[in-house]
């Protein structure tokens, strides 16, 4: 291919006009003829046996069209993995958290549906409950699931090298405990689902999601219907951040309601329900022990984490492993012992999050700074001495094919003025670094790859059919940009059909950071395939070899003599007449070790490639109030190649809000036992425009040998290393380590007081 | 609750709608007039995604009763582009990559438009304060602020 015409350019996203004019329709905006309103009855108890559900009074209420309980379900349990199938999405035997789905109503209007919920009588036998993951593992704690003794849901043990010997040989060893409370995705769009069922048995679902294929497969299992009858449609999604991935009770309930009522049913959650009854983010207690050589090289790590998983598994094995994997994807770890436990409690279900594991990764990155100080090494230098590079193999066996980690660290340090600032700023001001590597995709079996097709109209316009999913990050625009570049078309010449489980081919979805590396790779493959077909036909027509030809602005031309050209539509028409219509086909399956398994076999190539980044945060700490303000963030990220730099930068900027100011300083759920106290946006504090620092993004391009045009990922740029950068900057500012996230003013003041006492 | 007939002027068009006294403006806009560009993010006045302009001022339509909007001029995102020509603020949001998931976008754009009419040459700090009532979870507000500053420069 000739030089790029589109990729690498700051292009306007294809979805932005619809979104700027209010024409983009999200699930709650959709209506269907004769649509009913759905509402869910939720458990008021954290742990109780359901003795009886009497719906007879509710059924007699005028305007009620269907009521479902667990008895209407097939009794199939859901779990992302065969060994984690622990959740009936409409429970029959027990409720395990406050807010769990017990029954649901479809009625002519919302008032009637709410009224009907009040008429459903549920008899509970309240059981003792447990809310703390450490207590939950003690002898005598209430057992939440029959199959899980001591409430241990997942245990991931990994041991590499001779850890005990390495600790004995270490020059310096340090142990710390870090903890974090629960937090939330708090996407701006509340959870919603619209379901419709026809007389031929076709079930259609619209819901904000990260993977229509994953939802469809789960519903097909749960409803015991063939996959061809379950159609999860494309709809605009108002943010995901990991919280729209696996199946939720809402979709299942809406499906049951529409199948029973034989009318479309829309279920729109309140903000409170979106907080409590979809997914939350794990709290955790992390014990870290690190041993180093005198020169700062990491010799041994022992990491034990206990995560509060809530009542069910969700993506448990993944959530238990990912923070550890992010650590091993960053630094050379010759000897490491990891024990990850995910524990059941009587709290809402926890899932994967863009900023998952703040105590884990924040802790490791802060401990690195503590050790660096002890050894008299600059924190940036400490990281550079341990950073992975291209060609290295990670602790559990993944080979790195492109790596710009050191460059990212060096460029971020340079741009931020690190040398002149670290340790030299006035009291109350500080600067700190965080860094991490990131898996780009991971083994998901048949769902780990993507395929795409391109068909052409006789006027030379094209339609790209791809499974790609966009939750806001710009994935749709990205695949069109890539295909248009390859085909020498304008982006507006290509229509995109995507994210529909019936129409579009399999794709991993907006999940595991794989959309650029995998989905765009497949779209690129389809574009290259159709390009070759077009050039083949055009070579006869222009009397030139395929190699001599190129495509640009809808024309095929001879590279050496551009005046010899023809409109692309001619080749497309000729192909139709000759019964060889141009149909591009592409696919990409990342080169991972498919035998790798999260719990039973965490060895082998985990991802096709890895991205790398470093951020530097500057803070001001008010020692009177304990308030921490992030003033500047400089972030450098090796995304391989920036297909649309404007969209790539937007990922860092968003991460500084969610992972940085939000997850590090503000966001947490508060509880009274199993009752969430701040399930609303007045009390669950998220960053506002006035809370945000100045942000300087630096794109590092390593041109990955596998990625489309060399691209990897940018979605997790900064989101998992902001915690450590801010934690370290606070130490630089006021000399205290805060080991509990979020770092709220009360914790800062308590630490300052403690420090004064020591003096 | 007893229903009553009211007149609403939305995007320059008059509408007769039958409402109950407790019905919110956002509910009438979305359900009765099918103007779904106005979003509901929290339904309790915290997130700002339901912002519309009432006599040129941003209001949270989830905290405004439909009956309160009688006799006032309501503007929603659907009314901003005139004759297919986008408003400069819409253009700036598009060109500067200020839109990711898009759920807060209508509220952000309307809030910015009203603000720039009051303060055509704002500082960045003033822009940040002006939009601090609308929550965005995707962009970190950086490109939104950039877009508003650019739109201010154009006007």
SS (H, E, C) A583-631: EEEEEECCCCCCCCECCCECCCCCCCEEEEEEEEEEEEECCCCCCEEEE
How is residue A330 written in tokens?
A: 């960053």
The 10 Å Cβ neighbour count of residue A3 is 6
User: Which of B137, B149, B150 should we substitute to test contact with A (largest number of A Cβ atoms within 10 Å)?
Assistant: B137
Closest Cα in chain B to A470: B101
Nearest to A668 by CA among A278, A222, A355, A335: A355
Domain topology for A31-127+188-239+244-276:
Aldehyde Oxidoreductase; domain 3 (3.90.1170)
Closest Cα in chain B to A696: B142
B94 at A interface, C-beta within 8 A: yes
A15 at B interface, C-beta within 8 A: yes
The answer to whether the CB of A107 falls within 8 A of the CB of A36 is yes
Residues B139, A237: C-beta atoms closer than 8 Å? no
pLDDT per residue over A121-156, tens digit each? Answer: 999 999 999 999 999 999 999 999 999 999 999 999
pLDDT per residue over A596-628, tens digit each? Answer: 999 999 999 999 999 999 999 999 999 999 999
Residues A271, B94: C-beta atoms closer than 8 Å? no
Phi-psi region of A108 (alpha: psi -120 to 50; beta: other; left: phi over 0): alpha
Q: How far apart are CA A390 and CA A651, in angstroms?
A: 24
Confidence category of residue A74, pLDDT binned at 50, 70, 90: confident
A650 at B interface, C-beta within 8 A: yes
Residue A678 phi, psi (nearest 5): -120, 50
Residues B103, A26: C-beta atoms closer than 8 Å? yes
Helix (H) or strand (E) holding A571: helix A568-577
Residues 101-120 of B with CB under 8 A from A: 101-106, 109
Chain centroid, CA B130 distance in Å = 13
Residues A689, B128: C-beta atoms closer than 8 Å? yes
Residues 27-66 of A with CB under 8 A from B: 28-29, 31
Percentage helix, strand, coil for chain B under 3-state DSSP, each rounded to 5: 35, 20, 45
pLDDT per residue over A481-532, tens digit each? Answer: 999 999 999 999 999 999 999 999 999 999 999 999 999 999 999 999 999 9
Residues A17, B38: C-beta atoms closer than 8 Å? no
**Sign of the Cα pseudo-torsion (A23, A24, A28, A30, in order):** positive
Helix (H) or strand (E) holding A290: strand A283-292
Residues 149-168 of A with CB under 8 A from B: none
| CA angle, residues B139, B140, B145, in degrees to nearest 5 | 85
Tell whether the model's pLDDT for residue A447 goes beyond 50: yes
Question: Who among B46, B86, B95 is closest to A680 (CB)?
Answer: B46
pLDDT per residue over A154-176, tens digit each? Answer: 999 999 999 999 999 999 999 99
Q: How far apart are CA B100 and CA B91, in angstroms?
A: 15
Question: Who among A25, A31, A689 is closest to B131 (CB)?
Answer: A689
Tell whether the model's pLDDT for residue A1 goes beyond 70: no
User: Which of B101, B106, B126, B141 should we substitute to test contact with A (largest number of A Cβ atoms within 10 Å)?
Assistant: B101
Tell whether the model's pLDDT for residue A396 goes beyond 50: yes
CATH number for B88-151 (one of 2.60.40.10, 1.10.150.120, 3.40.50.800, 1.10.1510.10): it is 1.10.150.120
Share of chain A above pLDDT 70, in %: 100
Between strands B4-10 and B73-75, the pairing is parallel
Q: Give A31's contacts in chain B (Cβ within 8 Å).
A: 34
How is residue A28 written in tokens?
A: 């709650």
Residues A681, B44: C-beta atoms closer than 8 Å? yes
Residues A189, B138: C-beta atoms closer than 8 Å? no
Question: Who among A19, A654, A656 is closest to B102 (CB)?
Answer: A19
Looking at the DSSP bridge assignments, the partners of residue A438 are A611
Segment A213-227 mean pLDDT: 96
Across all residues in chain B, what is the average pLDDT? 97
A145 at B interface, C-beta within 8 A: no
* CATH code for the domain defined by A280-443+595-758: 3.30.365.10
The 10 Å Cβ neighbour count of residue A92 is 13
Nearest to A403 by CA among A84, A172, A702: A702
Give the ipTM. Answer: 0.98
Closest Cα in chain A to B129: A690
Question: Who among A18, A28, A187 is closest to B40 (CB)?
Answer: A28
Looking at the DSSP bridge assignments, the partners of residue A431 are A618
Residues A13, B99: C-beta atoms closer than 8 Å? yes
Q: CB-based contacts of B125: which residues, under 8 Å, 6+ apart?
A: none
User: Which of A18, A21, A510 should we substitute to test contact with B (largest number of B Cβ atoms within 10 Å)?
Assistant: A21
Bond from prior residue into A507 cis (ω within 30 degrees of 0): no
Least trusted range by pLDDT, from A72-81, A393-402, A545-554: A72-81
Tell whether the model's pLDDT for residue B155 goes beyond 60: no
The answer to whether the CB of A315 falls within 8 A of the CB of A280 is no
End-to-end CA distance of chain A: 67
**In which residue are the tokens 């600059």 written?**
A378
Residues B101, A238: C-beta atoms closer than 8 Å? yes
Closest Cα in chain B to A23: B37
Predicted pLDDT at A4:
84
pLDDT per residue over A408-428, tens digit each? Answer: 999 999 999 999 999 999 999
Residues B137, A188: C-beta atoms closer than 8 Å? yes
Q: How far apart are CA A69 and CA A172, in angstroms?
A: 59
Q: How far apart are CA A499 and CA A503, in angstroms?
A: 8
**Sign of the Cα pseudo-torsion (A354, A357, A362, A368, in order):** negative
Looking at the DSSP bridge assignments, the partners of residue B15 are B8
Segment A52-74 mean pLDDT: 97
Q: Give B111's contacts in chain A (Cβ within 8 Å).
A: none
Predicted pLDDT at A685:
96
Closest Cα in chain B to A658: B137
Residues A22, B141: C-beta atoms closer than 8 Å? no
CB pairs under 8 A between A and B: 180
Residue A518's SS3 state is helix
Segment A204-217 mean pLDDT: 97
Tell whether the model's pLDDT for residue B82 goes beyond 90: no
The answer to whether the CB of A468 falls within 8 A of the CB of A515 is yes
A630 at B interface, C-beta within 8 A: no
Burial category of A593 from C-beta neighbours within 10 Å (exposed 0-12, middle 13-18, buried 19 and up): middle
Closest Cα in chain B to A680: B42
Burial category of A423 from C-beta neighbours within 10 Å (exposed 0-12, middle 13-18, buried 19 and up): exposed
Q: Give B90's contacts in chain A (Cβ within 8 Å).
A: 20-21
Strand order in the sheet with A555-558: A549-552, A555-558, A565-567
Residues A188, B129: C-beta atoms closer than 8 Å? no
The answer to whether the CB of A465 falls within 8 A of the CB of A176 is no
Q: CB-based contacts of A287: which residues, under 8 Å, 6+ apart?
A: A175, A176, A177, A302, A303, A304, A305
Closest Cα in chain A to B85: A21
SS (H, E, C) A256-282: HHHHHHCCCEEEECCHHHHHHCCCEEC
The 10 Å Cβ neighbour count of residue A71 is 11
pLDDT per residue over A339-378, tens digit each? Answer: 999 999 999 999 999 999 999 999 999 999 999 999 999 9
Question: Who among A12, A31, A188 is closest to B136 (CB)?
Answer: A188
Closest Cα in chain B to A650: B139
Predicted pLDDT at A46:
98
Burial category of A138 from C-beta neighbours within 10 Å (exposed 0-12, middle 13-18, buried 19 and up): exposed
Domain segments of chain B: what residues?
4-79, 88-151
DSSP A141: P
Tell whether the model's pLDDT for residue A759 goes beyond 90: no
CA-to-CA dists, residue A630 to A149, A432, A614, A633, A651, angstroms: 44, 11, 16, 8, 18
Q: How many CA atoms lie within 13 A of A367 on its CB side?
A: 25
The answer to whether the CB of A360 falls within 8 A of the CB of A687 is no
CA-to-CA dists, residue B122 to B108, B139, B145, angstroms: 16, 21, 11
The answer to whether the CB of A416 falls within 8 A of the CB of A634 is yes
Residues 280-319 of A with CB under 8 A from B: none
- Residue spans of alpha helices (H) in A207-267: 212-223, 249-261
Segment A396-416 mean pLDDT: 98
User: Is CATH 3.30.365.10 what the domain over A16-23+444-588 is classified as, yes or no?
Assistant: yes
How is residue A4 written in tokens?
A: 């790029």
Q: Do domains A31-127+188-239+244-276 and A280-443+595-758 have the same CATH topology?
A: no
* CATH code for the domain defined by B4-79: 3.10.20.30
Residues A239, B138: C-beta atoms closer than 8 Å? yes
Task: Name the pTM for this structure.
Answer: 0.97
Q: How far is A383 from chain B (nearest CA, A)?
A: 27
Q: Give A29's contacts in chain B (Cβ within 8 Å).
A: 30, 36
End-to-end CA distance of chain B: 47
Q: CB-based contacts of B53: which residues, under 8 Å, 6+ apart?
A: B59, B74, B75, B76, B110, B113, B114
Tell whether the model's pLDDT for residue A2 goes beyond 60: no
């Amino acid at each position: 291919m000739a030089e790029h015409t589109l990729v690498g350019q700051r292009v306007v996203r294809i979805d932005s006009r619809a979104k700027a004019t209010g024409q983009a329709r999200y699930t709650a905006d959709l209506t269907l003829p004769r649509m009913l309103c759905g509402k869910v009855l939720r458990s008021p108890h954290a742990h109780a046996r359901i003795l009886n559900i009497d719906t007879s009074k509710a059924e007699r209420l005028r305007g009620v069209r269907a009521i479902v309980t667990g008895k209407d379900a097939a009794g199939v349990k859901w779990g992302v993995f065969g060994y984690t199938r622990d959740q009936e999405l409409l429970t029959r035997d027990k409720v395990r958290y406050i807010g769990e789905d017990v029954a649901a109503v479809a009625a002519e209007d919302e008032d009637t549906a709410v009224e009907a919920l009040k008429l459903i009588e549920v008899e509970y036998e309240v059981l003792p409950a447990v809310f703390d993951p450490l207590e939950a593992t003690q002898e005598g704690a209430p057992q939440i699931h029959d199959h899980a003794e001591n409430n241990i849901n997942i245990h991931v043990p990994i041991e590499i090298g001779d850890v005990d010997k390495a600790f004995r040989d270490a020059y310096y060893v340090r142990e710390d405990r870090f903890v974090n409370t629960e937090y939330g995705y708090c996407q701006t769009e509340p959870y919603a689902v619209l379901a419709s069922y026809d007389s031929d048995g076709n079930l259609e679902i619209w819901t904000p999601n990260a993977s229509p294929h994953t939802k469809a497969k789960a519903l097909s299992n749960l409803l015991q219907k063939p996959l061809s009858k379950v159609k999860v449609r494309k709809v605009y999604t108002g943010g995901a951040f990991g919280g729209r991935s696996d199946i939720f009770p809402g979709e299942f309930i809406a499906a049951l309601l529409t199948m029973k009522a034989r009318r479309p049913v829309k279920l729109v959650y309140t903000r409170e329900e979106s907080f409590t009854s979809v997914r939350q983010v794990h709290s955790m207690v992390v014990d870290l022990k690190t041993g180093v050589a005198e020169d700062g090289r990491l010799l041994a790590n022992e990491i034990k984490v206990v995560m509060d998983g809530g009542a069910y598994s969700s993506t448990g094995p993944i959530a238990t492993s990912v923070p550890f994997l992010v650590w091993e994807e960053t630094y050379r770890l010759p000897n490491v012992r990891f024990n990850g436990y995910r524990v059941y409690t009587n709290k809402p279900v926890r899932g994967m999050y863009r900023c998952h594991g703040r105590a884990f990764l924040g802790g490791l990155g802060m401990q690195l700074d503590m050790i660096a100080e002890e050894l008299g090494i600059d924190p940036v230098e400490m990281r550079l001495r341990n950073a992975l590079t291209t060609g290295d193999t990670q602790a559990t066996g993944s080979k790195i094919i492109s790596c710009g980690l050191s460059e990212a660290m060096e460029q971020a340090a340079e741009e931020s003025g690190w040398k002149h600032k670290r340790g030299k700023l006035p009291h109350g001001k500080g600067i700190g670094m965080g860094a991490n590597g990131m898996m780009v995709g991971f083994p998901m079996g048949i769902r780990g790859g993507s395929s795409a097709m391109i068909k052409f109209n006789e006027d030379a316009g094209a339609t790209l059919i791809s499974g790609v999913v966009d939750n806001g990050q710009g994935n749709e625009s990205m695949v069109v940009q890539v295909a248009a570049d390859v085909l020498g078309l304008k982006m507006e010449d290509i229509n995109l059909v995507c994210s529909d489980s019936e129409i579009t081919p399999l794709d991993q979805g907006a999940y595991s950071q794989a959309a650029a590396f995998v989905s765009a790779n497949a779209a690129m493959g389809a574009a290259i395939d159709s390009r070759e077909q077009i050039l083949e036909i055009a070579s006869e027509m222009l009397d030139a070899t395929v190699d001599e030809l190129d495509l640009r602005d809808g024309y095929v031309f001879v590279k050496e003599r551009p005046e010899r050209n023809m409109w692309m539509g001619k080749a497309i028409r000729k192909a139709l007449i000759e019964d060889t219509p141009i149909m591009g086909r592409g696919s990409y399956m990342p080169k991972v070790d498919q035998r790798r398994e999260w719990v039973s076999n965490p060895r082998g190539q985990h991802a096709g490639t890895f991205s790398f980044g470093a951020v530097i945060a500057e803070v001001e700490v008010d020692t009177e109030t304990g308030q921490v303000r992030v003033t500047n963030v400089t972030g450098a990220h090796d995304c391989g190649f920036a297909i649309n730099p404007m969209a790539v930068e937007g990922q860092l900027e968003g991460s500084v809000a969610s992972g940085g100011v939000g997850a590090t300083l503000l966001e947490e759920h508060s509880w009274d036992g199993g009752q969430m106290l701040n399930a609303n946006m007045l009390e669950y504090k998220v960053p506002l425009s006035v809370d945000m620092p100045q942000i300087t993004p630096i794109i590092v391009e390593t041109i990955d040998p596998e990625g489309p045009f060399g691209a990897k990922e940018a979605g997790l740029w900064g989101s998992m290393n902001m915690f450590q950068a801010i934690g370290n900057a606070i130490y630089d500012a006021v000399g205290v380590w805060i080991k509990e996230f979020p770092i709220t003013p009360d914790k800062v003041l308590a630490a300052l007081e403690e420090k004064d006492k020591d003096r | 609750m007893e229903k009553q007939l009211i007149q609403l002027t939305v995007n320059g068009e008059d509408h007769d709608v039958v409402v109950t006294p407790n019905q919110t403006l956002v509910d009438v806009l979305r359900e009765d007039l099918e103007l779904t560009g106005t979003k509901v993010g929290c339904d309790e006045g915290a997130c700002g995604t339901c912002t519309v302009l009432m006599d040129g001022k941003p209001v949270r339509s989830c905290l405004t009763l439909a009956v309160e909007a009688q006799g006032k001029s309501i503007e929603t995102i659907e009314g901003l582009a005139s004759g297919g020509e986008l408003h400069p603020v819409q253009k700036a949001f598009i060109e500067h990559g200020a839109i990711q998931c898009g759920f807060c976008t209508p509220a952000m754009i309307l809030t910015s438009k009203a603000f720039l009419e009051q303060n055509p040459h704002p500082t960045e700090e003033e822009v940040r304060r002006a939009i601090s009532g609308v929550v965005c979870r995707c962009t970190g507000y950086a490109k939104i602020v950039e877009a508003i500053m650019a739109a201010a420069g154009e006007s």
